[in-house]
Structure 1
Amino acid sequence: MNRKRSLLLLAAVIAVFVVVLAAYRLRNSNIDEGIVLVSGNIEVRAADIGFKIAGRVTERLVSEGERVGAGQVIARLDDSALVQEQALRRAELRAAQAALAELEAGFRDEDIAQARAAMERAGARLDELLAGSRPQEIAAAEAAVRNIRAQVELLKIERDRQMRLLKTEAISEREFDRVETEYDRALAGLSETEEKLKLVRAGPRKEQIRQAQASFREAEARYKLFQAGHRAETIEQARARVEQAEAALALVDVRLNDATVEAPLSGIVLSHNVEPGEYVAPGTPVVTLGDLENVWLRAYIDETDLERVKWGQTARVTTDGLPGKVYDGRVAFISSSAEFTPKNIQTHKERVKLVYRVKIDIPNPRLELKPGMPADAEIMTHADD
């Protein structure tokens, strides 16, 4: 009886040993097989594409799921105001360039000659005023007065005769009015001529001389300026205005270019966030592009596997959504710092609280793997490919 009991006890011990050994081997099967199992989610390299300036969207040329190439136009803003401003800035630049060219060329010979002639005329006029009235001018003015007085006397005699004829009704009032009008005109001419004689006898007034002096100085300064040419600082100021106009035009050109947004990379439109007619601020995402042809798996390994997993090791990736399909991957990143296990990630060794993030690049030419898909990967630790 005791022998039988001893055999049963021995069999039980052996059974426990076998179970423990099997569990140990199962738990360390990754080490034995040179494989580290990880789980995670598929992610893509995504970029939010937006405008650098604010404005109203007139066109969005791509939709979700559409494949786009690098440099392809994604959307456009209303650029009508910028086009008008560009035309204005170009006109300002042309005007500034023309002004600079004129200054650099200097004055023409005919301009200098005209300035000299104007100065000489102003000088002659000033000399004339400073010299006063000549005797010949006074004599001519007196002779003019005598001539007009003689005409007035003759017209007065004729007027008186016509008046007597009118009283006897020998002539009409119309004929008399004609003679009287001529007489009145002669009287006015006499008054004007006598006034001129007074001015000639009195000579030029001081204000006339001062005005003539100012005119001469102005004409002389203009002639000297034309002779010397433009000052260097004047030309530099004109050159600065050209540079300022060029900068203003360049700024408008940049803003006009920024009214069109292009894809910086080839990829798939993951989402679009605005519609034509909406007003967007700078940096507002218009679309989100993702490189679905080259996805990656975000996974985590524990500290015990850290020494075994190396950069560049190959991996076999599978996902429940695509049963039977295996995708080749390669370890592209291993974090150097530990972190707590994410709540949505479960490693094969759940008792380890601190894990290290790894990134496995996966070619996806058929676009079968989608962002967010859960996936598993077997990292081949037995060879470095």
Structure 2
Amino acid sequence: MTAKKKKIMLVLFGTLIILCFGLFYYIRLRLSASETLTIYGNVDIREVQLAFYDTGRILKIYVQEGQRVKKGELLAELDPVRFEDAVRQAEHAVAVDKAALENAEITYKRDEALAKEQYISLQERDNALAALKEAKNKLKADEAALSLAKRELQDAKLYAPQDGVIEDRILEPGDMVTPQTPVFTMALDRPVWVRAYVPETYLGKIFLGMKAEILTDSYPGSVFQGWIGFISPVSEFTPKNVETPELRTKLVYQVRVYSENADYRLRLGMPATVRIPLNQPYPPEKPPLTMD
């Protein structure tokens, strides 16, 4: 065999090897793609409207828009003068009732002893007993009124119900409020979820608790770990703002892919890509966080 033929054979052999490797990786890529469901959606969060339990005038507001707050943190308070006066009046009424109850007990014990010796009539003893019961009932009612007044004084302060971010500061100090008037809009951004839609043909391949990966254009190269936390029991047509005209008539199911969002980088409305490996064992592992 001449040197030229050997060279041609080596080139052909090398080309064959390259084609084999290329075919291997192509088949592997196709198999990998068939085992992964890729869907698209947007990041969603919960929002709450925070309001006082009572009517009054706002005295102080302690937080600004965009500020992150912790559960139990004081956000605002009403002018407490009216509520403090109500507490003092209720405390005075309870003190008077206790003195009246003490006198009624003394009177009843005395009249009971006198009635046994027939120094007074049974009617007078029964009147003393009725007065004692009335004094007890009045004390109980005024103690309940005192407890309510103290509760209303506590409710003059507005606290954060959960960790989150102050999204909107709607009112300002000096504004009058009622229980129906929100003071803040608060975003509860941990966990968050991606709202996406799964074709009906894939519905039997996913289940609650499956692990998923979330990717966004805002953080190229970053992968946020998540899990499927909701699969809609009701089908719907593909939302018109999501898919092409050809796919708008196809039935899909809404899913929510939750993420712990520990670093708070996932934000409301952010477009996201979700990858769900379909070869996961059942039952799934418990997710790191659950919705309250």
TM above 0.5, yes or no, is yes
The residue number in structure 1 matching 2:158 is 261
| 1:290 paired residue among 187, 195, 198 | 187
Q: Could you tell me how far 1:107 is from its partner in structure 2?
A: 8.0
The residue number in structure 1 matching 2:65 is 64
Q: Give per-residue Cα distances to partners, 1:133-155, cap 9 Å, x unaligned.
A: xxxxxxxxxxxxxxxxxxxxxxx
SS in 1 for 2:183: strand
Q: Could you tell me how far 1:353 is from its partner in structure 2?
A: 2.5
- Greater strand fraction, Structure 1 or Structure 2: 2
| 1:319 paired residue among 192, 205, 216 | 216
Q: Could you tell me how far 1:289 is from its partner in structure 2?
A: 2.4
**TM-score, normalized by length of structure 2?**
0.76
Give me the whole-angstrom Cα distance separating, in 2, the residues matched to 1:338 and 1:324.
33
Give me the whole-angstrom Cα distance separating, in 2, the residues matched to 1:347 and 1:98.
80
Give me the whole-angstrom Cα distance separating, in 2, the residues matched to 1:80 and 1:351.
60
Q: Is residue 49–residue 185 contact of structure 2 (8 Å, CA) maintained in 1?
A: yes
SS in 1 for 2:189: coil
Give me the whole-angstrom Cα distance separating, in 2, the residues matched to 1:58 and 1:274.
11
SS in 2 for 1:359: strand
Q: Is residue 103–residue 235 contact of structure 1 (8 Å, CA) maintained in 2?
A: yes
Give me the whole-angstrom Cα distance separating, in 1, the residues matched to 2:89 and 2:144.
13
SS in 2 for 1:312: coil
Letter in 1 for 2:156: A
Matched, 1:300 2:177: no
The residue number in structure 2 matching 1:104 is 105
Matched, 1:328 2:225: yes
Cα distance change, pair 301–107 in 1 and its aligned pair in 2 (3 A): closer
SS in 2 for 1:360: strand
Q: Give per-residue Cα distances to partners, 1:21-70, cap 9 Å, x unaligned.
A: xxxx9xxx688531111111111232222111121111111112222111
Letter in 2 for 1:239: K
The residue number in structure 2 matching 1:83 is 84
| 1:232 paired residue among 117, 122, 129 | 129
Give me the whole-angstrom Cα distance separating, in 1, the residues matched to 2:181 and 2:237.
33
SS in 2 for 1:285: coil
Give me the whole-angstrom Cα distance separating, in 2, the residues matched to 1:238 and 1:261.
37
Letter in 1 for 2:217: D
Letter in 2 for 1:361: Y
- Greater helix fraction, Structure 1 or Structure 2: 1
The residue number in structure 1 matching 2:259 is 362
Q: Is residue 311–residue 333 contact of structure 1 (8 Å, CA) maintained in 2?
A: yes
Pick the structure with greater CA Rg.
1
Give me the whole-angstrom Cα distance separating, in 1, the residues matched to 2:215 and 2:246.
19
Q: Which has the higher contact order (CA 8 A, sep 6+)?
A: 1
Q: Could you tell me how far 1:374 is from its partner in structure 2?
A: 1.1
Q: Which runs of 5+ in 1 are unaligned?
A: 1-24, 110-222
Q: Which runs of 5+ in 2 are unaligned?
A: 1-25, 111-118, 285-292
The residue number in structure 2 matching 1:247 is 144
Matched, 1:376 2:273: yes
Q: Could you tell me how far 1:86 is from its partner in structure 2?
A: 1.1
Give me the whole-angstrom Cα distance separating, in 2, the residues matched to 1:340 and 1:77.
48
SS in 1 for 2:212: strand
Q: Give per-residue Cα distances to partners, 1:229-253, cap 9 Å, x unaligned.
A: 6621111111111122112212212
Q: Is residue 59–residue 276 contact of structure 1 (8 Å, CA) maintained in 2?
A: yes
Q: Is residue 78–residue 259 contact of structure 1 (8 Å, CA) maintained in 2?
A: yes
Give me the whole-angstrom Cα distance separating, in 2, the residues matched to 1:256 and 1:326.
48
SS in 2 for 1:45: strand
Q: Is residue 43–residue 372 contact of structure 1 (8 Å, CA) maintained in 2?
A: yes
SS in 2 for 1:358: strand
Q: Is residue 83–residue 153 contact of structure 2 (8 Å, CA) maintained in 1?
A: yes
Give me the whole-angstrom Cα distance separating, in 2, the residues matched to 1:380 and 1:348.
28
Q: Is residue 37–residue 378 contact of structure 1 (8 Å, CA) maintained in 2?
A: yes
SS in 2 for 1:276: coil
| 2:170 paired residue among 261, 273, 285 | 273
Q: Is residue 238–residue 248 contact of structure 2 (8 Å, CA) maintained in 1?
A: no
SS in 2 for 1:82: helix
The residue number in structure 1 matching 2:93 is 92
Give me the whole-angstrom Cα distance separating, in 2, the residues matched to 1:299 and 1:101.
70
Cα distance change, pair 354–256 in 1 and its aligned pair in 2 (3 A): same
Cα distance change, pair 47–38 in 1 and its aligned pair in 2 (3 A): same
Letter in 2 for 1:90: E
Letter in 2 for 1:343: K
Q: Could you tell me how far 1:288 is from its partner in structure 2?
A: 2.4
Q: Could you tell me how far 1:83 is from its partner in structure 2?
A: 0.7
Give me the whole-angstrom Cα distance separating, in 2, the residues matched to 1:36 and 1:357.
14
SS in 2 for 1:85: helix
Letter in 2 for 1:268: V
Aligned-residue Cα RMSD (Å) equals: 2.7
